[in-house]
Amino acid sequence: MKTPLERFLKYVEFETTSNEDATTTPSAETQFNLARFLVEELKELGLTDAKVDEHCYVTATLPTNVADRKVPTIGLIAHLDTSSAASGANVKPKIIEYAGGEIALENGLVIPETEEMKALVGKRFVVTDGTTLLGADDKAGIAAIATALERLIASEKPRANVRVCFTPDEEIGNGTAFFDIEGFGADAAYTVDGGPGGEINGETFTADKATLEVKGFDTHPGEAKGVMVNASRALSSIIAELPMERTPERTEGREPFVHLYKLEGGVSSAKAVFLLRAFDEEEREKNKTALREAIEKGTASLPNKPVCELTFEQQYLNMGYFLKDSPEVLNKLERATRNVGVEPEWIPIRGGTDGSRLTEMGLPTPNMFTGGRNFHSPIEFLVVEENELATRALVELIQLWAE
């Protein structure tokens, strides 16, 4: 029987970086390499219906072993892809025993010591060599699910029906683009896509994308007075009016932000894309108001006024809006976590998961920990013992649903 660590070390050999500029799902064909490997692994475990579809969704079923009554079908979900914020190719994982202090990586990068890390002295970490991300987000979740399935099969304890799905392109917001909820057939589900051991999540940001297009007018700079409208200068003035206290760099916890995500342009046109994040509707509207007011203030003193077009696109809603109607789904997750000796802590996610959209679409899907830290960066690491706890919690969870 394999450990989640053994599985994880194998999975990170596969480069699965998603590409947000792609127009296909999956956004990168390399994601199929891991998907096909997982199909074969699930079949070896005994899940005969394991398959990958044309969009790189891996699905499989572990039937219940309860014959005398009907039990629910519970989904376990993790994503195949990794963020493009750092390279995911040629990952070179290294296992260390954490002795405290900062961790020097092979290429000179340093994982700084945090207050939380002081309690992890003596634990095993999987780290990178500093040239790539690790891929714990979310290959650690896949490892926990696959290992939990093997242990459930080996156990004689009653278990619920399990439906598994490993999704592509979660990192670019497309993990549920072709997710067939009806075909999946679960009564509830859990994403295994979180961080520190014991942290469980029933809330995410509500996410909007704002696009601001500024149209100017170009002419020879020597004859520009009263004629030129410099779109980039106007956009710079607008950005300068946004409140700094409402940026990712200065917020934490439940505080909202407006994040300048992309910026491009010249004299005749310029464009900025912003990511707007908030946990409630009041702050969500304040984010939008902040942009509108910045446009008004930023263009007020310009000699020639540009044309500004601001559009908003909803990306996903706070899953907490809907999960309040599914208390049993949350309670079972809390109990499973406590049953493996960890005190559960409900933490709102300053981001989103596949569960954000799935919950909104009608499938209650909170999130649970994997043991990973510092996602999307070369200083990412995985706490081995916490990934094992996640595996054990999943076994407990599926068995609780068979009570």
**Beta strands at 73-79 and 188-192: parallel, antiparallel or unpaired:** parallel
- 214-265 pLDDT, tens digit per residue, is 999 999 999 999 999 999 999 999 999 999 999 999 999 999 999 999 999 9
Instruction: For the domain made up of 4-204+318-400, give the CATH fold.
Output: Aminopeptidase (3.40.630)
Q: Please report, for the chain, the start and end positions of each structural domain, with discontinuous segments joined by +.
A: 4-204+318-400, 206-316
When pLDDT is cut at 50, 70 and 90, the band that residue 159 belongs to is very high
| Span 113-130, average pLDDT | 97
Mean pLDDT for the chain?
97
Instruction: Supply the pLDDT for residue 212.
Output: 98
Q: Catalytic site residues?
A: 81, 170
Instruction: Supply the pLDDT for residue 249.
Output: 95
Following DSSP, what letter does each residue of 285-316 receive, concatenated? HHHHHHHHHHHHHHHHT-SSPPEEEEEEEEEE
Contact (Cβ atoms closer than 8 angstroms) between residue 210 and residue 118:
no
Q: Report how far apart, in Å, the C-alpha atoms of 314 and of each of 243, 278, 311, 366 are.
A: 22, 12, 10, 20
- 64-75 pLDDT, tens digit per residue, is 999 999 999 999
Residue 48 pLDDT > 90? no
In 3-state terms, what secondary structure has residue 92? coil
Residue 303 pLDDT > 90? no
- 291-301 pLDDT, tens digit per residue, is 999 999 999 98
Residue 304 pLDDT > 90? no
CB atoms within 10 A of CB 360: 18
- 373-397 pLDDT, tens digit per residue, is 999 999 999 999 999 999 999 999 9
Instruction: For the domain made up of 206-316, give the CATH fold.
Output: Alpha-Beta Plaits (3.30.70)
| 192 beta partners | 368
How much of the chain exceeds pLDDT 70, in percent? Answer: 100
